[in-house]
Amino acid sequence: MRMRLIVAFIVVALLAALASSWFHTLIESYHLPAGLREVVMGPNWLRSVVHGYAGQSPPRPVHHTALVFFGAEAGLLLAVIATAAIAASTPVLRPVRRLARAAQRMAGGDLSVRIEPRGRDELAQLVTSFNGMAAALEDKVGELQQMEARARQFAGDVSHELRTPLTAMTAVTDILYEHPDLAGDAATAARLVHTEVLHLNRLVEDLIEISRFDAGTAQLVTDDTDVAAVVDRCLRTRGWTDVSAEVPAGLTVRLDRRRFDIILANLVGNALRHGALPVTVTAGLQADGHGGPRLTVDVRDHGDGLPPSAIPHLFDRFFKADTARARSEGSGLGLAIAWENARLHGGRIDAGNHQDGGAIFTVSLPGGGAELYGGGPRLRYGRGRAVNRNTSCYTECMANTRFSISTDPAIQKAIKAHAEAAGLDVSAYMVTAAIAQMAADDAASAVFTPLDAENASALAEAAEMSPAPLPALEDLTAEEQHLVLRVMRSALGSEGSGEAGVA
Amino acid sequence: MATVLLVEDDPAARQGLELALRRLGYGVRAAETGEAALRDVRDAAADVVVLDLMLPGLDGFEVCRRLRRDSDIPVIMLTARDDDLDIVGGLEAGADDYVVKPVEPRVLDARIRAVLRRTVRTDSPAETYGELVIDRGSLIVRRAGQDVSLPPTELRLLLVLSGSPRQVFSREQLLGLVWEHDYLGDSRLVDACVQRLRAKIEADTSQPRYIQTVRGFGYRFGPV
């Protein structure tokens, strides 16, 4: 816009210059009053300069002198005009730019933006209208958000209120249902009431669960979880013995066990109800380019698969894929809840059809705390030189993993010094008398304490008290080895990955 | 036949639960308010209290605290909201376990029976650990010569832990052994109970000698 103004100014100036040159003879011959004459024809000293040059007797003024003179005059004029144009346009353009920035911020979501109107011209009016529009928009959006919050709160409140009458009904339905004197229609009616009350209970439970996600009060309680164990338990407690699970042993990921169980139970339940056997659960760890390892769990069935039109809506609340089918025993919120549980972990669920038939649901969760190798617990170790017959030293030196376990703090100190000198990073752990006792008691418990100056002396005393021989690591049971692995992992934190396993 | 003191203000819920408990074979006394419940417990002994948390007047938490002050009677909370605050508050007030309303009679039955089983005696000589003396035969626990009064769940937790000293039990294992929960239950039950137990038997709860936390694993008795 500035360019346009400058160009307009220049055109006007040129026209004015042309006009004055066209009519200069008129000006010359007009008898103007003295003061005005000087204004119109230029001050005397300027005229004498110009005419002095122009009126030079032959030879005529050389071309390039005149050109230079003319060029200087034109250049000066252009500069003056351009400056005038810029000066005139700036006070117009600045508020326009401010308006544009404000509009951009609003588009980005900041509805509170307002501009100070300056002056009383059309631009100021525009700014005032803008402010009015922004205020109206902000109010409207606020109102809509409040309405949505109220609706969600209402759903949650209703569900809570429903619990009270349901308590009495749940307590007594099976009295009716199991009553020996009821027969015929009465017995059927009692059975119906019983089933529906239980159904209602499940619905209310699910509604309350969903309302917690909406209110933002759902919390994640994570712990290092053995995935195979959770999957197995999930299937066993529900009696799903014909579902096969392929989960690598020793795969441990930081999960909210309860919520993971809910996700799995919903997906497997759906597979059994709406799909067909065989149903398989496969889990594994995958390296993700950016965020580290991810736990993926696939639940697959061999039924007819999902209708493609339903796939984008599967996780919607109360969505039923087959509306013609009689209603299922679920609440219609199962997948929505599973999805929210996955999202709470920072993960997702994807639904689709397997290329060989049947539906496949893939849960993908961040694999924090996961063992990258995904294999069983493996402890590679070597025997160091024993300082005395009663203690041994196990040193594990590999690319990223260095653990040294001993009951003798002196040995540990020596190892640490040696490792530091060699530029290796060795984590030295003191084993208390407990591990020596461990093999004897067959109790899978041990205490490992990081070696540092402070506790070294205290531990030295403790170690003296029980000079029992250390069991060889290969003499530990798989469970105990797994335990040792877990302790090391938790002691080192999530950075301490790269443990190896039993050779 | 065990007697249940049911404390529930909603008349329909009270009637329904009373009916269900009777059918399960329990003797039932019902109270509408916390005050009535406290009076009842003073007048005649009950074996277990099933206590609704949301009561008019004296709320469930306060009733539980007052019950705990004078006796070791087992208390099972009835809560309509499995919100964190409710459960943690109830456990801190001294409840042994909780069920969420609406509750199916067989679930309530299982919890009541589990809580009554906690005070089963065995024939073993008294064991001494430092200042603590645990007599499994008479179910008496003494600390520094003084009797320590423990409600059934805290007692059972202590017995289970001290039964295998220096063995680490995970919260899940304890839920199964002490509370007999068979689902991925609430480990807060365990934590709250440990807190209460420590308050009674540890000289310094910030440096527990008897009930030790093994970070990342669970709890362990000793080494003393």
Give A310-355 pLDDT, tens digit per residue.
888 889 888 876 654 555 667 788 999 999 999 999 899 999 998 8
- Test A434 with B166 for CB contact under 8 angstroms: yes
**Domain with residues B3-117, CATH architecture:** 3-Layer(aba) Sandwich (3.40)
The rounded distance, in Å, linking the Cα atoms of B221 and B224 is 8
**Mean local confidence (pLDDT), A415-422:** 59
- Test B20 with A175 for CB contact under 8 angstroms: yes
Provide the pLDDT for residue B48. 94
Sequence-separated (6 or more) residues with CB below 8 Å from residue B64 = B51, B75, B77, B90, B93, B94, B95
pLDDT band at A409 (very low <50, low <70, confident <90, very high): low
The rounded distance, in Å, linking the Cα atoms of A284 and A253 is 10
> DSSP state, A92?
H
- Test B10 with A167 for CB contact under 8 angstroms: yes
- Rounded to two decimals, the pTM is 0.61
* Contact pairs from chain A to chain B, CB under 8 Å: 83
Provide the pLDDT for residue A423. 58
Q: Helix, strand or coil for residue B98?
A: strand
DSSP-assigned letters across all residues of A164-232: HHHHHHHHHHHHHHT-TT--HHHHHHHHHHHHHHHHHHHHHHHHHHHHHHHHT------EEEEHHHHHH
ipTM, 2 decimals?
A: 0.78
- Test B216 with A487 for CB contact under 8 angstroms: yes
Chain A contact for B25, CB < 8 A? no
Chain B contact for A166, CB < 8 A? yes
Q: Using CB atoms and an 8 Å cut-off, which of residues 300-319 of chain A contact chain B?
A: none
Four-residue CA torsion sign, A303, A309, A312, A314: negative
The rounded distance, in Å, linking the Cα atoms of A230 and A209 is 21
- Test B101 with A165 for CB contact under 8 angstroms: no
The rounded distance, in Å, linking the Cα atoms of A174 and A456 is 64
Residue B12 structure tokens:
């329909």
* Residue A138: its H or E element: helix A122-177
- Test B167 with A443 for CB contact under 8 angstroms: yes
Residue A322 structure tokens:
């087959």
In which order are the strands placed within the sheet that holds B127-129? Answer: B127-129, B132-135, B140-143, B146-148
pLDDT of A82 higher than 70: yes
- Test A237 with B182 for CB contact under 8 angstroms: yes
Q: Using CB atoms and an 8 Å cut-off, which of residues 152-171 of chain B contact chain A?
A: 164, 166-168
Of A220, A301, A382, A171, residue with least CA distance to B101: A171
> DSSP state, A328?
P
| B27 Rama sector, left if φ>0, alpha if ψ -120 to 50, beta otherwise | beta
Note the pLDDT tens digit of each residue in A142-192: 999 888 888 877 877 887 788 889 999 999 988 888 888 888 888 888 989
Note the pLDDT tens digit of each residue in A189-238: 898 999 999 999 988 888 888 888 887 778 887 777 788 888 988 998 88
Chain A contact for B16, CB < 8 A? yes
pLDDT band at A420 (very low <50, low <70, confident <90, very high): low
The rounded distance, in Å, linking the Cα atoms of A108 and A110 is 6
Note the pLDDT tens digit of each residue in B139-188: 889 988 888 888 889 999 999 998 888 788 888 788 888 888 766 667 77
The rounded distance, in Å, linking the Cα atoms of A271 and A238 is 14
pLDDT of A399 higher than 50: no
- Test A201 with B81 for CB contact under 8 angstroms: no
Where does chain B hold its CATH 1.10.10.10 domain(s)? 127-221
Other C-beta atoms within 10 Å of B184: how many? 19
pLDDT band at A468 (very low <50, low <70, confident <90, very high): very low
Report the residue of chain B nearest A432, measured CA to CA. Answer: B223
Q: CA torsion, points A52, A55, A57, A61, in degrees to nearest 10? A: 90
pLDDT band at A500 (very low <50, low <70, confident <90, very high): very low
Q: Kindly list the residues from chain B whose CB atom is less than 8 angstroms away from the CB atom of residue A263.
A: none
Distance (Å) from the alpha carbon of B168 to chain A's nearest alpha carbon: 6
B9 neighbors B32 (Cβ within 8 angstroms): yes
What CATH number does the domain located at B127-221 have?
Answer: 1.10.10.10
Give me the residue from B10, B19, B168 closest to A175, CB to CB: B19
Provide the pLDDT for residue A482. 54
Chain A contact for B216, CB < 8 A? yes
The rounded distance, in Å, linking the Cα atoms of B179 and A498 is 38
Provide the pLDDT for residue B164. 83
- Test B12 with A165 for CB contact under 8 angstroms: yes
Provide the pLDDT for residue A456. 44
Provide the pLDDT for residue A43. 72
Q: CA torsion, points A238, A342, B172, A202, in degrees to nearest 10? A: -50
Provide the pLDDT for residue A393. 32
Give me the residue from A168, A204, A487 closest to B12, CB to CB: A168
Report the residue of chain B nearest A489, measured CA to CA. Answer: B216
The rounded distance, in Å, linking the Cα atoms of A416 and A419 is 5
Provide the pLDDT for residue A397. 28
Query: Rounded to a whole number, what is the largest CA-CA distance in chain A?
Result: 142
Where does chain B hold its CATH 3.40.50.2300 domain(s)? 3-117
Report the residue of chain B nearest A217, measured CA to CA. Answer: B83
Distance (Å) from the alpha carbon of B70 to chain A's nearest alpha carbon: 30
- Test B13 with A258 for CB contact under 8 angstroms: no
Distance (Å) from the alpha carbon of B149 to chain A's nearest alpha carbon: 30
Q: What is the mean pLDDT of chain A?
A: 72
- Test A445 with B13 for CB contact under 8 angstroms: no
Report the residue of chain B nearest A203, measured CA to CA. Answer: B102
Q: Which domains does chain A have, with CATH numbers?
A: 2-107 (no CATH), 132-218 (1.10.287.130), 223-366 (3.30.565.10), 382-492 (no CATH)
Chain B contact for A445, CB < 8 A? yes
pLDDT of A454 higher than 50: no
Phi, psi of A279 (to 5 degrees): -110, 130
Low-confidence ranges of chain B (pLDDT < 70): 81-85, 182-185, 216
Provide the pLDDT for residue A262. 93
